[in-house]
Amino acid sequence: MHTTTHNAAPKAVQAKPCQKCRDNFPLPEAEAVFDQHVVHGYLVRRGATTACPAADKPCMTKAPQHPQQAPKPTPPNLPNLVLQAQDCTESLRTVLRACHAVASLAAGATHLHSTASMDGLGELLHLHSDAMEQRLDSIGTLIDTLRTAIGARPTGDRARHLAMDASDQHTHMRQAQLAFAAVADMVPCAADSLTGENLGAALRLLADAMAERTAAMDDMLDALHAVLTTAPAQQGQPA
> Is residue 12 included in any domain, yes or no?
yes
Domain region containing 32: 2-60
Q: Are residues 35 and 97 in the same domain?
A: no
Whether 65 is covered by a domain: the verdict is no
Q: Is residue 119 part of a domain?
A: yes
Give Cα 127 distance to the centre of its chain.
28
Q: Are residues 114 and 230 in the same domain?
A: yes
Domains contained in the chain, number: 2
Lowest mean pLDDT among 12-16, 32-36, 58-62, 164-168: 12-16
Among candidates 118, 131, 124, 43, which has minimal Cα distance to 92? 131
Q: Specify the higher pLDDT residue, 87 or 108.
A: 87
Q: Is 29's pLDDT higher than 90?
A: no
Same domain, 83 and 42: no
- Identify whether 8 is part of a domain: yes
pLDDT for position 223: 94
Residue 219 falls inside a structural domain: yes
| Mean per-residue pLDDT over the chain, rounded | 77
pLDDT in tens, 109-143: 555 555 556 677 778 888 899 999 999 999 999 99
Residues 105 and 50 in one domain: no
**71: in domain:** no
Instruction: Spell out the SS3 assignment of 59-89.
Output: HHCCCCCCCCCCCCCCCCCHHHHHHHHHHHH
Domain identity same for 13 and 87: no
For residue range 95-114, what is the model confidence (pLDDT) as tens digits? 999 888 888 877 765 555 55
Q: Decide if pLDDT at 15 tops 90.
A: no
pLDDT score, position 178: 93
Report yes or no on 68 lying in a domain: no
Alpha helix positions (H), 108-157: 118-150
- Residue 235: per-residue pLDDT: 47
User: What is the distance between the alpha carbons of residues 45 and 61, in angstroms, rounded to a whole number?
Assistant: 16
Task: Note the pLDDT of residue 207.
Answer: 92
